[in-house]
């Protein structure tokens, strides 16, 4: 049985599949050459992340495929329903990267509240000649402790964010169309833990009462945060998107940053990936990362192991 990990897989995943007598190919095949490669090599399983798409035309052209796997949560780059209608298993790893994304949210939150995103741009340029001016410019940061974090989307990742926020000493409020309440287990290094119950609220209420907003929703047809929602937010609040590009109206966001309605934004995903708008990239109130929410060594190991486990289980039945 052959597995093509077209967007890569951790060595742990490769080892687990190899032990189960799968042949794992880690060649990165260009999208336009993928159909020929799969057919020439009789690929049984194709694993992708964000770069490779598996659409109806590829599914129809590659009858050897039995499993399509996505290393991560969202599967908007796969025609899931069509694949399943053809008897193909479609799998993903929804829990493997939750903690990694949550920690990146807090990297943006801490960086935003203390201006690190801008300080790190200007210190190399002017730190030796304008040190006192820069010190004054960045001397009005805020602490996270005691502030309110609003979480839009209270699934696995949203709940991991809540755990960190509660540990930091923040108040957490949340909104989710499908979750009424959730018990958040905050665990400590010595095995102790506390459980905190959080009931979700309408999104409008969360926007009005939060010092910071973080989004954890799937790809949408329409914006989740547009001009109307930005207007509801507190003056001088911050917003983080480590979910999917297109859930925030970036044009409206830039206007809100210009007017100081929003103090800063942290973006890991963008409307126009992989070529984000220049106005976004050059804005000095936006903390930027190139869609690396799940890109930690630990998450990649968990993703590889989880995909391998599911593949082995499905193909042994």
272 is catalytic: yes
291 is catalytic: yes
Kindly name the residue from 159, 244, 302, 306 that is annotated as catalytic: 244
Phi and psi at residue 233, in whole multiples of 5°?
A: -70, 155
How far apart are the C-alpha atoms of 77 and 46, rounded to whole Å?
13
216 is catalytic: no
Phi-psi category of residue 9: left, alpha or beta, with phi > 0 → left and psi -120 to 50 → alpha? beta
How far is the CA of 299 from the CAs of 12, 109, 173, 191, 271, in angstroms?
Answer: 11, 21, 26, 22, 24
Kindly name the residue from 199, 272, 273, 298 that is annotated as catalytic: 272
> Tokens 């495929």 map to which residue?
65
How far apart are the C-alpha atoms of 236 and 260, rounded to whole Å?
6
How far apart are the C-alpha atoms of 178 and 153, rounded to whole Å?
9
How far apart are the C-alpha atoms of 220 and 245, rounded to whole Å?
9
The residues annotated as belonging to the active site are 244, 272, 291
């Amino acid at each position: 049985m052959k597995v093509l990990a077209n967007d890569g897989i951790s060595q742990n995943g490769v080892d687990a599949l190899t032990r189960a007598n799968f042949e794992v190919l880690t060649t990165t095949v260009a999208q336009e050459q993928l159909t020929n490669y799969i057919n020439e090599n009789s690929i049984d399983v194709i694993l992708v992340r964000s770069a490779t798409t598996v659409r109806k035309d590829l599914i129809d052209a590659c009858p050897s495929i039995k499993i399509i796997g996505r290393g991560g949560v969202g599967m908007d780059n796969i025609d899931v329903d069509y694949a399943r209608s053809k008897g193909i298993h479609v799998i993903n790893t929804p829990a493997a990267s939750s903690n990694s994304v949550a920690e990146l949210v807090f990297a943006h939150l801490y960086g935003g509240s203390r201006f690190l995103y801008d300080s790190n741009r200007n210190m190399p340029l002017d730190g030796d000649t304008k040190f006192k001016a820069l010190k004054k410019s960045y001397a009005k940061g805020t602490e996270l402790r005691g502030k309110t974090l609003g979480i839009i989307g209270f699934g696995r990742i949203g709940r991991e964010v809540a755990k960190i926020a509660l540990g930091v000493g923040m108040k957490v409020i949340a909104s989710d169309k499908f979750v009424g309440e959730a018990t958040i287990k905050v665990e400590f290094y010595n095995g102790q833990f506390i459980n905190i119950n959080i009931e979700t609220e309408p999104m409008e209420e969360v926007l009005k009462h939060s010092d910071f907003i973080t989004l954890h929703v799937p790809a949408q047809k329409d914006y989740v945060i547009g001009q109307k929602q930005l207007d509801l937010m507190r003056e001088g609040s911050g917003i983080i998107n480590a979910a999917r590009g297109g859930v925030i109206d970036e044009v409206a966001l830039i206007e809100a940053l210009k007017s100081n309605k929003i103090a800063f934004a942290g973006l890991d995903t963008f409307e126009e990936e992989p070529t984000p708008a220049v106005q976004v990239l050059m804005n000095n109130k936006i903390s930027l990362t190139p869609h690396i929410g799940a890109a930690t060594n630990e998450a990649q190991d968990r993703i590889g192991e989880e995909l391998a486990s599911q593949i082995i289980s499905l193909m042994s039945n």
